[in-house]
Amino acid sequence: MDGYRRGLALLVLLGLTAASGASCPNMVQQISAPPLPRVLPPQPTLDQVVAAVNRNSSQIESFLATHATLTGPGFPPLRANVAFQRTQRFRLRADTAVTGAELDIGSNEELFWFWVKRNQPPAVYFCRHDQFDASDARQMLPLDPDWLADALGLFQFDPSLRHYGPEAVAGDMLKVTTVEPRPQGQLLKVTIVDAAHGWVLQQHVYDAQRQLLVRAVATGHRRDPLTNLVMPTEVEIDCPAWQFSMRLQLGHVEINRLEQDRAELWAMPHYEGSPPVDLCSPQGQPPGLRGPAQRPEAHRRRPGACPPRAHRSAASDACPVWQGAGPG
């Protein structure tokens, strides 16, 4: 599991500290696709859908977004720079014109790190990749945070897992359900794909009780004119269990044009007054690391239930994400 993905997941748990009260999301109508040739037949097989998604994602070796914006409840809009290079190199830095640097999340081949300016006590938290799975920090995460990097356009169907579908859903979309065994019980992953172009539009992850853990909605898909590869330009991430949501607007993304000799980009930073703290040691647990918030019983829906009709769009009135989501 790549460290840049872990770092992003920990941002959800630790980061910008706002209880958004995000509810179990409905499936929304996606943007209209530009007039590009279809890559999938009208009634594709599962193998054809998997091949279309993996063919695009597997060719993205790097990307760079220098004019991104990070927003969410409880913190001001942040200017952001995002860079990625396979396999374990990632960097997200965000700031404001008034307050300067606000957060720094990254990874290299050895370790991942994150720094949030407003964390108390201030520190650059880090962990070695090979120590994360056995650490207490890992126990606080309900799932491997691979889905967060997948949300940025790097998603691939794992051929070693069981996949079901595709099923046609509203808005010219297809649903593929994946079962992933875990020691705590199997996870259920629902992936919504554009039925014509094979773009990944939505990802929903459920626990063994069919309770929604996280979701990602990707919009504004753009084909890079030099590589013909496609990435979204905006990603919205909701984590209802932690009452957290954020939106990352990537804007113009350059694909496979990141220089190779950028060693400083992948080095763990040093911020004055923020000593390095090993997140994966018992003494290194940051104060903000905690489990999911417990909602009042009256506001909980039964596992797998649809949201109230008032919270559903016309395109999702039948709540197709939850209907027939894989084996019982």
Q: List, for the chain, all residue ranges whose pLDDT scores fall below the cut of 50.
A: 1-10, 12-34, 145, 288, 290-291, 294-328
In a domain, 309, yes or no: no
In a domain, 81, yes or no: yes
Q: What is the pLDDT of residue 282?
A: 65
Summarize pLDDT for 192-249 with one digit per residue, the tens.
Answer: 999 999 999 999 999 888 889 889 999 999 999 999 999 999 999 988 877 778 899 9
In a domain, 301, yes or no: no
Q: What is the pLDDT of residue 148?
A: 60
Number of domains, the chain: 1
| Residue span of the structural domain in which 223 resides | 3-287
In a domain, 255, yes or no: yes
In a domain, 302, yes or no: no
Per-residue H/E/C for the chain: CCHHHHHHHHHHHHCCCCCCCCCCCCCCCCCCCCCCCCCCCCCCCHHHHHHHHHHHHCCCCEEEEEEEEEEECCEEEEEEEEEEECCCEEEEEEEECCCEEEEEEEECCCEEEEEECCCCCCCEEEEEHHHHCCCHHHHCCCCCCHHHHHHHHHCCCCCCCEEEEEEEECCCEEEEEEEECCCCCCEEEEEEEECCCCCEEEEEEECCCCCEEEEEEEECCEECCCCCCEECCEEEEEEHHHCEEEEEECCCCEECCCCCCCHHHHCCCCECCECEEECCCHHHCCCCCCCCCCCCHHHCCCCCCCCCHHHCCHHHCCCCCCCCCCCC
Q: What is the pLDDT of residue 40?
A: 95
Report yes or no: 191 and 175 within 8 Å, Cβ to Cβ: yes
In a domain, 160, yes or no: yes
In a domain, 319, yes or no: no
CA atoms within 13 A on the CB side of 127: 26
Q: What is the pLDDT of residue 286?
A: 54
Q: How far apart are CA 120 and CA 269, in angstroms?
A: 18
Tell me whether the omega of the peptide bond preceding residue 287 falls within 30 degrees of 0, making it cis.
Answer: no
Which CATH number fits the domain that encloses residue 101?
A: 2.50.20.10
Beta strands 276-278 and 124-128, pairing class: parallel
Give the closest residue to 20 by CA, choosing from 188, 230, 242, 244: 244
Q: Which two tokens stand for residue 87?
A: 């396999």
In a domain, 141, yes or no: yes
Q: What is the pLDDT of residue 257?
A: 93
pTM of the model: 0.74
